[in-house]
Each structure stands twice: as structure tokens, then as C-alpha cells.
Structure 1
Amino acid sequence: MLPPPRPSQPNVAIPTSWSPSAYTYPPLLGNSQTQGGASTSFGYSQAHQQYAVQRQFWATKAYQSSVADTITVCFKILREVPGKPKGILVRNLTEGEPNVLASITPPGLRQLGIQTMETKLTAALRGLRIDWTRIPLREIVNWVDLAHQPPDIAYFYARCMTGKPKPKETAPSFKKQTKAFELAFVIDSEYWEEIEQQLADNESSRSSNGRGSSQHTPDGSTVDLESHARRPSPEQEDDFELNSASFNRNQGHTQLPVTRAASKRNRTVSVTAPRTPPPSKRRIIYQSPNQDHLRDALLEGGSSYSQLSGQGPNSTSEQIQFFAINDCSLNDLLADRRFQGFVCDPANACLGSLVIEAGNYLGIGTFKTAEIGYLTLLHLTAGHLGARANEPVAVKRMYKRRKTPTDANPGKWVLNRLTSADEHSKILMEANVLFWATSIMNFTYSFIYHFIQSSSERPPFEIPEIRFVRAGVAIVHDQSTGPTTLKCSISRTYLIEERINEAKDGFYKFINNGSAVPLTMTRKDATELSEFLAFTQHVQFYKTKGAVYLSDLQGSMQLLTDPQIMTSPLIGEGAEIFGDGNVPSAFNSFPEQHCCNHICRWFELPELAASADSDTRSVISNS
């Protein structure tokens, strides 16, 4: 009997888990099998390619203990924001990785973090590819950049070792950490601006490619591609036409219900069918929200890290009496000799609350400080300050500087608040100045509109619409009960003003109270507004016969605040009126310093000059 034939392929036994064959060893090949080309489990298959990976895996396991030392790492995506030392969370992107080997090195942590967060960040940025080489990985606790740490030393392992060894041990042992180690990929502000610009470009390109666009049909009508793509079913279309029929109120035809064979619902048609094609019916436009924008808004708005503003830890709440500074025309103000100034009338007081962010200053002036606040009145007043709950306001208080340095603050001045009585009187004076300034400015606009209406031509320039901020006085009372009497006193007095959004509208000093010359502006519109305000000073000085004008004009392009009323030194014979900013020397210099501009000339205002008597000023008029 002849020996069996020698196989033409390697005789390799494949494990049963890798082979569909049920044999542990392959049968010998016969002549018929070698020539028939039958499929058998001989030779190397694709499963053998896992040999190197499996060998490395089990070789690593051989040098580890039965229970590996692991930690939990939490990865986040942050971006730099001015005023936030450690940035804010991007799109609420946070992911924890449990069972991470404690022996992992900084490069391994970075690689693991990229694998964990890359898909999430790409999805949050609507498919935008990120250059990870520009994003450092930092530990959130100490803000250490892992790129500057030794690459071959385990980063967290030493922190997990106990200080004292366990009994019968000579070395410290590994202690399982209950709190995750937090790492963050930090995107700097420059790179984040590039990302936002790229997202905006991608959004505009998608919009220009036909999303939500319309197309003209051959008959000249317009078809909305987005609504045409989501055309309703016949039954839904019947419902839609029934609902939209209520909008067709201009037709005078009688409507009768008829039934179509294709629908079980009634429709209305006109008795008199017009020969011309009927006008297109008004359709109810419905549009789903943009999913990308909705997702971004939910992620950004739902994250606590995204709140850049709000009540801080130093916020205080005060129960107040609020006295609004109402508008009053100059004629009415002069006619009522009982109240020719601002008065805190108890009959007009409103109760409410005031939240103040102590120390969060909007600005510090020469006599006053302005802090961020929120005003809520029990009875909301339309058209005045406090028209809505939690209205953002500027809370102003008087102060004086301490000239003597202290040990804690040598060489620097500090804020000293006034006594309750002094603060109350000075705040009332500030409110009175604002009350008079509003009346004088309204009088100025009355002159402007009257002159324009009586003129045969319109001014070749725009008339700015500007006003003083709405304001009021808030008084806080301290009450203490004694054995037999109830003691009540005013403890604090605030000047509450409509807040100017300086970040959005800017803040400018147009004219100082010490000079009639407008300050130099860098913006063209600010320069034009300063010229207009100089013109208003001319109107006020001229129409009051050299008695009063407004100065120290400052604020935004729509709102003014902290004015100063300048009066003639002859009024009151040297009495101090309208506060410390009413400087007599500045008033006397106004006619000489004021330079008429094109607005003054168009309104035919006369030139100002000094009279022979240096103590009196007059207006040279052609009349």
C-alpha cells in the first residue's frame, strides 16, 4: 500500500474558534481534493493578523498585578474668555473615562483625550475639523500644561500612593481615588475667533446654495423650494386650504360648501367664478428652527459656565422708597412757585426693592460712584424708570476721598461715604440738577422744532434725538424698636439712573463744565453730536438772556447723564446753587469761548460777545 500523497499546502491546524470547520486537525488531501479546488481551512487566514496585537496585550498583562491600578479622568473642552481666568465650557462638552491605567504618561493622556473628545467636538462644531496641535491640554486644578511635563513619567501615579504603608508592607501602597482627575483642552481666544468665522462662512455658503430659496416657474409665479419639498398630503392640503380661507377677507362673493370626489371634506368656492386667474392665497408660513443653531444655543445656554454676567456673591438687596424724576416743561416749572425743583413727595412714593452688586463699579467720578443694580417696583410705571421688574440701573452714591494714607493702603486714596444727612442732601441736589436739565433740554428741542416748522426749507443736516437718562431717588430707612418708642431714620440715599450700555453704545465726554469748547472726538458721529450740543448751549444762553445753560455733557449717542447747570453769578448774589460744579468763572468765559458752528448759523443765532461791564454778559441781537 502506497503512502498518502504529500499535501501541496502547509499543514497548519487552525483553532476551532477561528475556523468554520469542526475538525481539530485537517484531513489529508486526496487526489480528487487537490484537483477539485474544494474550500478547506488550510493556510493562514485573516485571523492570524491579530497575532501581534494579542501577543503585545498578553505580554503587558504578564507584568501587571491581578488587579490593575486605575483612575478616572474627566476631559473637558474650554475656551479663553476675558475676565475668566480658566475660561468657560464649550458647548457643555464633558466626558469621563473610567478605568484608566494610573501609569499613563502625559502623551498618553493627550492621546486618550483626543480620542474621547474629537468626535464630540466635531459634532458640536457642525463637522468643522479642528487642529489639535493648537489646543494645549491642561490640568484644571493647577492649570499646568501637560506638554511641559516629563513624557515618560506617570502623571497621576504619585498622587495615588498613600503616605503610610499598609501593615506588613515596607512601601506605600496604591489608593483608589474616588474623585476624577479633571483635564481640559483649552482653545485660545484667537483660535476660537477663527473657528467662529469659519462656522459663519460655512453657514452663509449653505444658505447661498439654495437652502430656503425660491425659484420662478415658467408662468412667472414664485415657488418656495423648502415648502415645496415638504408638500402635504391631499387630506392635509384640504385642511390647509380651509384654514387659509379665513384670511381671504377682501372678496365680496358668497361662499358655498361643495364636495369633491377626491376628498370627504367640504371646501368653499365662489358663486361667481372670475375669468382671470385668482390671486394667490395667503399661506400660513411655518418654519422649523434651525437645528444647528438650536443645538448650539441649548449647549451654550444650558451650561453654568456660559453665564458671563449676573448677581455676584457681593450682591445686596435693599427695601426702598422710590421717587421718580418726572419730566416737566420749563413753562410749567416756572408757573408753579410751590415746587420749582425736585421734591421727594411721600404722596408719590413707590415701594420696591433694589439689588446692588457692591464693588462692581460702572465708574468712579469726582464726587459719585456708579455701581450695577437692578430695580423692581411693586407698582410698575409705564414710560418711567421701573417699568419692568429687575430693570438694569446705575446706582450712584456720593463719596469723598480720604487724603491721609492708611497702613493697609499707603500712598493711595480710599472711598469714604458721607453721613446719612449729608448724603441725602447732596443726592437730592443731584436729582434736582437732572430735573432742571431735562426741562431745559426739552425747551431747547421746542425751539428747534418751532424754528424748523416756521422755516421755508429743511436743515441740510440731521437733528440728533438725544435726552437725559430717566432717573429717581431711592431712600432706605432703618427701623429700630425701643422699649416705648419706634425710631425711624434715613440710613442711605441712592440716585438711580437708567443704565447706559457702555459696551454697546460707548461713553463719551462731549463738553466739560470748565470750558465751552467741545472735546476732540475720534468718531465722526461723536464729533457731529458734540457740535450739536454746543449749539444747544448757544440756544439756552440766548433764549434765557444769558441766565443759564447746560454743561458737563456726557453719555452715549442717545442718552446723557451727570449734567451741570451753569447759572449767571448775578443770580443769587454769590449763593451756591445747583451744586459745586456751577463754576462762576466758567460761566463768565462762555461767550468768549463759544465758537458758532454751521448749526448755529442755520438757526440764525446771533454771535456772543462780552459787554463793557466784565461782570455782566449780554447777547448782541439784530432785532
Structure 2
Amino acid sequence: MELVSQFTEDAIAKEDRICGRPACGSVILKGAPYHYIATIVPSQPGRFVCRACYLRYAQKLLTSVRPSSVRPSSAQSLPDPNVIRQSVNAAQRRCPDITVPLLWQQPPVGSSQNRVPGPTGYSAHHAQYSLEREQWAKLAYAPPPVETITLEITAVYEGNSWKKSGRGINFGNICEGKKDIDARLDTPSLIAIAFDTILPKILTFGRGFPWRTQEFVVRDAAWVDLSGHLPAIPYFLAQCLVQSRHAPKTTTFKTKEFSLMVVVPAVQWSEYEEWLERTEEEETLHEQLQ
């Protein structure tokens, strides 16, 4: 009969009992090791056997065992610090920047042996975990904002000659509308929305030109640079609050549409026009040569 052994090499009998192998029948004393041997058929019950019978089953060719299940209990030893350190390092490569202190073979004070490189203990990333978890939990379960606005976001460049207004000049017909925007958003959030919406279209429009997007700014319809305002303060909310007709001392929210512009600096736009002219001349010359 084919048998299967489980991980019970460390099991200790809590009371005297008879070995379950019919050919043995020896007494397993309280405190002695005993092992459970299961049959290959799940519906049939297994048996508890003594250590000698367990080793006998383990040596049979038809017995299926796990590699560590035949290890004698006397071979057990204390944890290997090198193995544990390797496991910790492997886990840290998949986790935030956390260094676990070395707990085995502590070196003397001032010694550099067996010391984990880098800072010991949790880093600043872990300190922010609970705060970020609470913030994302609120966003996940919070209802959609009631007070919302609409944004019209365009791509413009600065004018730098007397023929141009000095304000934003549209290019590429790049214009996107965004509905249901929270009216309580501050300037960093609005800037992020504008860049996420327009930057991919600018890169597609001027494909091949090395745009320096870090120089782009976001301005409103009054040509105000949003980066100059303090964060955590709603930017458009005050313009949506109007006095109530029924209660003059109170205000009510009225949704509105606002304009934002992703602005390319005048110097960079001039570089783009020069690059575009050179590119067109090179393409024309190449076609003539062909």
C-alpha cells in the first residue's frame, strides 16, 4: 500500500499509546516522538506510528515523503543568521526602504563586523504609511464631490514681438474640456490636471523636438501663474459662491467654467520654430535629391 507522510517529525505524544502499525504494536510512551502516516486514499484514515516504524515507512520506495520529513529531530539546530539575512535582504528588495536590525551575533561596540549597511530600523517611508493609508481610504469611500466646476484647458505659447499680444497664443488646436472637477482643489492639484491633460498632446504636436517641459507653467484666464499661490487653499471656490436671494447673509454654490492654459515660454517656442524650419528644409532637400 502506497503511503504519504506529513510534516509531523517534531510531534510528541501527550500520553501513552500503541503504535498503529499492526506488525509493531509497541507502546509509544508519553513525551516520545510519534508520527502520523496517511494513506494515498483520502477517504481512508491514517495511523499514528512510533519513530522506528516511521523511518521504516520512509525507506520504502512506494512511500511519498517531503524532503524535510525524514530529517531526524536531533539534526535540528538554531536558525542560521546568514540564511535569515539573505531572506531579509530579498524581502527588502520588494518592499519600501526598511532595514531590519541584525539580532544574532551582535558585534561589540565599535566593531564593524556583521553589521547591516545603511540606517537601522524603519525609514521615513514607513512613518508616512498610516497617513497615506488614511488618505486613500477616505478617497476610496468618499462620495463624489457635490460642488464641481468645468475646466477648459488649452496649449499656448508666449508672444515676444510687437505683432503678438505678449499673452498666450494658441497652437495646434489643442483644447480639452474636463467636467465634474472638485471646486475645492488647490493650485498643485489643478496644475497636475492641466499637465496630465495637455502635455501628451504637445509632445505629439511637436514630435521630435526636445521640449523642456519643466519650464512650462499653468496660468488662468487672467494670465496668473498658479504656481505662485499657496497650496491647500481652493483656487476657484470663492468665485463660485454667490449671495443667496432668500438669505442675503448666506452664500450658495453656483457651478462655473474656468480656463487654464499650459504655457510654453517664448524663448523655447522660438527654438521650436527654428527647429521646425530646419527640419522642413532638410526634408525638402532630401526629396529633391531623391
Taking structure 1 as the reference length, the TM-score comes to 0.24
Q: Which has the higher contact order (CA 8 A, sep 6+)?
A: 2
